[in-house]
Homo-oligomer: A and B are copies of this chain.
Amino acid sequence: VLVDDDSPRWVAASMEDVAAASGVSVSTVSRALRGGTNVKTATVERVLEAAARLGFVASPTASSLATGKVKRIAVLIGAPLTEWFSGVILDRIYRVLRENGFDLLVYRVHDREERDAFFTSLPARRNADALIVASFTLTDAEQEVLGRMRTPLVYLSQHVTAHSSVGIDDAAGAAAATRLLLSLGHTRILYGRSAAQPGFSWSARDRYLGYTGELDAAAAASAPVAAPVSRGLVEFPAGPGFGTLVAGALLAGRLPAAIVMETDELAMQLLLALARQGVRVPEDVSVVGFDGHQQAEAFGLTTIAQPADELARRAAELAVALARGGGDETAHPVTIELPTTLVLRSTTRAPG
């Protein structure tokens, strides 16, 4: 009988091929290929050599089916990947995962539609060993759905009862920004925030509360001896071209003034708009940002920097630990709160 010649010209080598080539069983090949526990060193070398020669790599899929672990960690991110914060945390999370042999899976959940799609089809289900939830606030219903998934969870920038989380104290940061302006002698201190998604994020809420809280405290402490500090809220509509709006809101009152901005991104747009209007910073207006955006330095922006990189690293490490653990690690949730830093640059100074 002639051999059927439509045998494959070049198939990827299988584990059995490697076993045959190194004169051992597939079990031994399997053991040797991943760490070589309980295998004679000489055998390990022989197997590794054969595998390399044949260009064999074990199928992650088959391993996963057998072990129940997929060696993948997913990040559920509530913002476009184009945003500064998204980039920073994904980049850092990626590096931690890679160091530990995990792959990075990304799920973007920005608008209502994407959220609904994610939470109904749950593509991360049984598809990752742990999930990092970043940059957005879940509704209670969404939290419950995630809980049902039985995948270990780590929250980034959000505290959720009975789950591990890492974040900063947004209110304290905004209070520090406000305190700086007060200490410089400002008596007209505004707060500028995005009008995009009011009340959507806890961070946004806490930052504003930090600002008002600090002003309240100052008023209580100094009254009735000192003059009251005037306040004001400026909402920035989404999209470009808000320059005139900004000018209107700021210039409507007397100058000099000071303003605490919800984010550095908004603060930088404000600086550009003010420059275009001929308003001098910090002579006429003092500006403090929040975030520690990479570009803030180029703008000379005074800001409350959050350790985004470190937040991401800690979250990723927690996720790795949970991914390795049994799975029912609902015990021992860890809460990490990292400090913000006041970075003094050239957009703030005493009035007049």
- Decide if A65 is an interface residue (CB 8 Å cutoff): yes
The stretch of A18-26, A88-96, A161-169, A189-197 in contact with B is A88-96
Interface members, chain A 121-136 (any B CB < 8 Å): 122-123, 125-127
A82 interface residue (CB < 8 Å to B) = yes
Of B55, B94, B117, B122, which contacts A106 at CB under 8 A? B94
Q: Is A12 an interface residue (CB 8 A)?
A: yes
A127 contact from B103, B125, B269, B294, Cβ within 8 A: B103
Instruction: Give every chain B residue within 8 A of A123 (Cβ-Cβ).
Output: 98, 103
A64 vs chain B, min Cβ distance (A): 5
Q: Which of A66-97 contact B (CB under 8 A)?
A: 70, 72, 80-84, 86-88, 90-91, 94-95
Q: Does A108 contact B (CB under 8 A)?
A: yes
A82 neighbours in B (Cβ, 8 Å) = 84, 87-88, 91, 294
Query: Please, how many angstroms separate the alpha-carbon atoms of A274 and B297 in the complex?
Result: 15
Q: How would residues 282 to 312 of chain A score, 1 for a CB under 8 Å from any chain B CB and 0 otherwise?
A: 0000000000001101110000000000000
Assess whether A57 is interfacial by the CB under 8 Å rule: yes
Question: Which single member of B105, B108, B297 contacts A105 (CB below 8 Å)?
Answer: B105
Bound CA–CA A298/B241 (angstroms): 8
What separation, in Å, do the CA atoms of A57 and B106 have in the docked complex? 19
> Are A297 and B240 within 8 A (Cβ)?
yes
Q: Which residues of B contact A81 (CB under 8 A)?
A: 81, 87, 90-91, 94
Determine whether A184 belongs to the interface, using a CB cutoff of 8 Å to chain B. Answer: no
Interface check A272, CB cutoff 8 A = yes
Residue A59, interface by CB 8 Å: yes
Which residue of B is nearest A88, CB measured? Answer: B82
* CA of A72 to CA of B123, assembled, Å: 11
In the docked arrangement, what's the CA distance between A322 and B259, Å?
52
Q: Choose from B12, B65, B87, B299 the contact partner of A272 (Cβ within 8 Å).
A: B299
Given A83-B87, A298-B240: A150 and B106 interface contact (C-beta under 8 Å) = no
Complex Cα gap A127–B63 (Å): 11
Chain B residues with CB below 8 A from A55, complex form = 148
**Does A60 interact with chain B (Cβ within 8 Å)?**
yes
When distances are taken between beta carbons in the complex, the residues of chain B under 8 Å from A86 are 87
The 7 closest A-B pairs by CB, nearest first: A82-B87, A81-B91, A61-B64, A81-B90, A57-B125, A59-B126, A104-B106
